[in-house]
Amino acid sequence: MTQGVDAYRGWSAERNPPRAVHRLLCYLDRQASSPWRYAVEQTLFALLGWVPGIIGVGLRALGYRPILRSHGLVAIEAGVRLAQASNITLHRGVYLDTGVYLHACPGGIEIGENSMVMHHAELHVYNFRDLPHAGIHIGRDCLIGEFNVVRGQGGVTIGDRVFTSPMVQILAVNHVFHDPTRPFVDQGITAEGIVIEEDAWIGAGAIITDGVHIGRGAVIGAGAVVTRDVPPHTVAVGVPACAVREVGDCPPRSDVPVYY
């Protein structure tokens, strides 16, 4: 991630470049692994990123292969934004819908076979603190719903056949704010990571906070805020989310929001 700035570090130390130059180098560093790759990637995006329909999908499936870690043909719609593309791994059959934004860093983003990321979802690692477990890893046959936000500074691992409904947030990072005499931006962050095991279903608008482990086959109700682990095959709802029953038991009262 820091190769772009490192390449100029000696020059910077000797010549003390203007602040505008430093900001430019930082910007390039956050967009691609090197200035050369930035130029190549942006050229491809400009040529192919806007082409609509099946023709555009086909052109991007072939044209983006040199800049991605691509294992088989993938479908990328027009208007998809990719940053740090060399750290993005897409397996066969992946579908990225219109307006999707992937921002990878070392540790990267990996999306398994036949998984879909629906329109305007954002998968963002943004690891500029050299956190050791940063990254987003999604299994096969998953669906990441519309307008989801997945922040992977602490590491997010999503198993096979996990479905997230619209507006879900999965946030593997949190600010420290224990000291009232200091601004929270000076107190650091926690980044423990989030694990969602296979066959889980996350209802619309749910928020999964840092450090949470959701077990296999669990169901998270719409609008829930999950601040603690959820056992396998358990339905959890509410703010903060609490287990209300096990999957397969008689359903709760009709006013408990379980679906999306």
- Out of 22, 103, 119, 175, pick the active-site residue: 175
Q: At what angle do helices 19-31 and 35-48 cross, to 10 degrees?
A: 60
Three-class DSSP labels, 80-123: CEEECHHHEEEECCCEECCCCEEECCCCCEEECCCCEECCCCEE
User: How many Å apart are CA 141 and CA 256, to the nearest integer?
Assistant: 28
A 10 A CB-CB count for 182 gives 11
* C-alpha closest to that of 155 among 115, 117, 94, 196: 196
Torsion-angle region of 155 (φ positive above 0: left; ψ -120 to 50: alpha; else: beta)? left
* C-alpha closest to that of 107 among 33, 51, 167: 33
User: How many Å apart are CA 108 and CA 115, to the nearest integer?
Assistant: 17
119 is catalytic: no
Query: Which residues are known catalytic residues?
Result: 175
